[in-house]
Structure 1
Amino acid sequence: MTDTTQNTRILLASRPHGEPTADNFHIERAPLPEPADGEVLLRTIYLSLDPYMRGRMNDAKSYAAPVELGSVMEGGTVSEVVESRDDSLEVGDLVLSHVGWQAYGVQPARHVRKLDPARAPISTAVGVLGMPGFTAYAGLLEIGRPQPGETVVVAAAAGPVGSAVGQIARIKGARAVGIAGGPDKVAWLEELGFDVALDHRSPTFRADLEAAVPDGIDVYFENVGGHVWDAVLPRLNTYARVPVCGLVAHYNETEPPAGPDRSSRLMAAILTKSITLRGFIQHEFVKARYRSFQEEVSSWIGDGSLRYREDIVEGLDNAPDAFFGLLTGKSFGKLLVQVGTDPTR
């Protein structure tokens, strides 16, 4: 699949105004990069596509620097070492890396992590056993703290973060209500064992949610915003916890939403119900939770109590279109681009 004589790179050509388009990207062919001492040349096998990448396309202050114009779009990758100038890694080693939207990249050996394909499929290193899975695990357990018998609601529940949130909530003895878009995704949530699965596109969604949570909502894992949040807010219980890891419904907005300012309503709910509303970026919990995450989630996958789904698109050139679909809810499961041959399959 990958040309071994030259590199393919997808660069950020311009900053989007609203929804990104193909014009915001530029695909170029370039010579293979060369590693220096302490570095490795990596061949990309899987590129992870994630909603946070939309924010990195903007030139705005955030928790991480934006992608510079003319630079390779950033992203997590699973790669094979094809040249090593560091004794810690050998040619053929499979690693978790961060070379972005390109077929080959160079990274310091100390910045990659060797993978064991006998432990789990290597694609999971950027999925259920990677950043999305850890986002679900750490956000739910550190901030949500679900207790047995409580009700946990999660939006985008058919995605890699939301599906893990609901299943972990069930493992911890809570009741899981998943919200997704479309009957196929709702059916998948039911197959995963969610207590209730709701379609946010249904004209009766608000009434369906009210019926699904007769005792209110104790934990709402927020990664969407928009009309789902509007329906959830009145149903939050006293002392509800709301981990916030994303707001994908708003990423393409170019101006404040129409209508009255409802911040006073939100603040009143936070005050009168003693709600904990806490944004987070997953890396802040790495020191405290990453080891237990790897151990527990691997065990749950092994015994079948936690399942995952991958949506794999073939070919790096198709990454922009796949990314557009991710932002509009067309992907189903963890979205990956298979850039090169997977030697384990």
Structure 2
Amino acid sequence: MVKAKKFILKKQFSGAPKPTDVEIVEEELPPIKDGEFLAEAIYLSVDPYQRVYTQNVGQVMIGLQVAKIIESKLDGYPVGKYVVGHFGWRTHTISKTLTIPFGIIPDFGNLPVSLALGALGMTGNTAYFGFLEICKPQKGETVVVSGAGGAVGSHVGQIAKIIGCKVIGILGDDQKGKYITEELGFDHYINYKKGNVKEELTKYAPVGIDCYFDNVGGDTSTAVISLMNKFGRISVCGCISIYNIGTNNLVNFSPNAGVFIRNELRMEGFMVTRWTERWSEGIEQNLKWIKEDKLKYKETITEGFENIINAFIDMLNGKNTGKAIVKVK
């Protein structure tokens, strides 16, 4: 018998999540049956969507993890292989066949398997498909990315530079700003906590903005959209600026409709699972760019299963650079 630890939701989040909103409990797992495998968590992902996804009290906190198969009675899932699965915040999981976007992790060469939660997983594909398919950027265009120091935003900006765009990142920390400009190649950054976003954008994008990849919503997005060029394209990935005040307040994001009409803008939200049938395309292209040193990644790693909730809270407060993950042990 294997004893698994898991974080369950003890109390519905109200405002910013707190450590007391969750608790660790243990459960004894039964022996695996034919057609099943037992996986042990190695890395866990913390992501903004976990704050707004509706869960019932008593449920295991949702989330992706990289896990190692330690026992198997399922063909194609041998002991020792790594899988990525939506197993939640737990140390051990009994599972059956996984379907794309989950399953056996392909060979990354000498790159860490944790990238299956970041640049070579759902995060990387969110950037790849969400930016290229919706914004359809062209060489020479001006691209603005909000939440630019995070996992998706920093990835999007690099893809834009690969294409040949001018890229401006918006974030809330000067150290992150130096990172995306000096190491990732962004042309400029704006610290929304220190300056006037619209004024700064006018300075850095004097001829207007063609593409906007939106991770934050709120006042920042209203400022960006007001400066967009004719036929501008907006890809809406998230609205983290208002997650802690509840999803009912999403209506607060209301840029002037006249801007959309006058400039004939297109704004589209997306879920990355739209491109499940092309999943391997994104992984393979991102891997190719990494190997060519055209795409860089950064992980903020928190040690210890019991510290997941702290990593989650830190991520929502923007304390991570790149992908926030937890190393279980």
Specify the TM-score bucket, using the shorter chain as the normaliser. Answer: over 0.9
Counterparts of 2:310 and 2:157, CA distance in 1: 28
What SS is found at the alignment partner of 2:98? helix
Q: C-alpha offsets along residues 287-342 of structure 1, whole Å, 9 cap, x if unaligned? A: 2x4232122111100011000100000111111111111111112210001113xx
Q: CA RMSD in A?
A: 2.0
Select which of 157, 163, 171 maps to 2:162.
171
Correspondent of 2:143 among 145, 149, 152: 152
Count how many residue pairs are aligned between Structure 1 and Structure 2: 325
Structure 1 portions without partners, runs of 5+:
57-65, 341-345
Q: In the alignment, does 2:15 pair up with 1:18?
A: yes
SS at match of 1:14: coil
In 2, distance between residues paired with 1:22 and 1:130? 28
Q: How does 1:220-259 map to 2 (within 5 A)?
A: 220-254=212-246
1:320 partnered with 2:309: yes
Q: Distance in 2 between matches of 1:270 and 1:44?
A: 46
Q: Distance in 2 between matches of 1:21 and 1:143?
A: 35
Residue type matched to 2:218 in 1? G
Specify the SS of the correspondent of 1:284. Answer: helix
Say if 2:29 is the partner of 1:38. no
**Runs of 4+ that moved beyond 4 A:** 254-257
2-structure distance, mates of 1:333, 1:280: 21
Normalising by structure 2, we get a TM-score of: 0.93
Q: 2-side partners of 1:21 and 1:320: how far apart?
A: 8
Q: Does 2:290 align with 1:301?
A: yes
Q: CA deviation at 1:254?
A: 4.3
1:67 equivalent to 2:55? Answer yes
Counterpart-to-counterpart distance in 2, 1:96 and 1:279: 25
1:248-283 superposed Cα distances (whole Å, 9 cap, x missing partner): 0011114977xx9784x5322111111000000001
1:123-170 deviation line (CA, Å, top 9, x unaligned): 000100111111111011100000010001001111110011000011
1:282 maps onto 2:272 in alignment:
yes
Does the CA-based 8 Å contact 1:33-1:105 persist in structure 2?
A: no
In 2, are the aligned partners of 1:99 and 1:106 still within 8 Å (CA)? no
Residues 244, 277 of structure 1: 8 Å contact kept? yes
- Please say which of residues 267-276 and 304-313 is displaced more in the overlay: 267-276
Q: 1:255 to 1:108 in 2, by over 3 A?
A: closer
Q: Work out whether 1:96 is the aligned partner of 2:84.
A: yes
**Contact 2:301–2:326 (CA under 8 A) maintained in structure 1:** yes
Which of 252, 256, 259 is 1:269 aligned to?
A: 259
Residue aligned with 1:90, SS: coil
Q: Match of 2:174, as an amino acid?
A: P
Unaligned runs of 5+ residues in structure 2 are: none
Matched, 1:86 2:78: no
**1:292 aligned to 2:281?**
yes
1:114 aligns with 104
Cα pair distance change 1:117/1:219, threshold 3 Å: closer
Tell me what 1:210 maps to.
202
Query: What is the letter of the counterpart of residue 276 of structure 2?
Result: V
SS of 1:238 mapped into structure 2: strand
Contact 2:52 2:246 in 1 (8 A): no
C-alpha distance in 2 between matches for 1:30 and 1:256: 35
How does the TM-score come out when normalised to structure 1? 0.89
Task: Report the CA distance shift for 1:24/1:131 in structure 2 as closer, same or farther (over 3 A).
Answer: same
Q: Secondary structure at the match of 2:256?
A: helix
Change (3 A) 1:41 1:170: same
SS at match of 1:72: coil
State the distance in 2 between where 1:269 and 1:184 align.
33
> Residues 218 and 252 of structure 2 are in contact (CA less than 8 Å); yes or no, is this contact kept in structure 1?
no
State the Cα distance separating 1:110 from its structure 2 match. 3.3
Q: Distance in 2 between matches of 1:262 and 1:91?
A: 48
Partners of 2:268 and 2:246 in 1: CA distance: 24
User: Aligned to 2:169, what secondary structure does the other structure show?
Assistant: strand
Query: Of the candidates 177, 185, 200, which is equivalent to residue 186 of structure 1?
Result: 177
Q: Work out the CA distance in 1 between the residues paired with 2:263 and 2:248.
A: 27
Cα distance in 1 for partners of 2:171, 2:139 equals 24
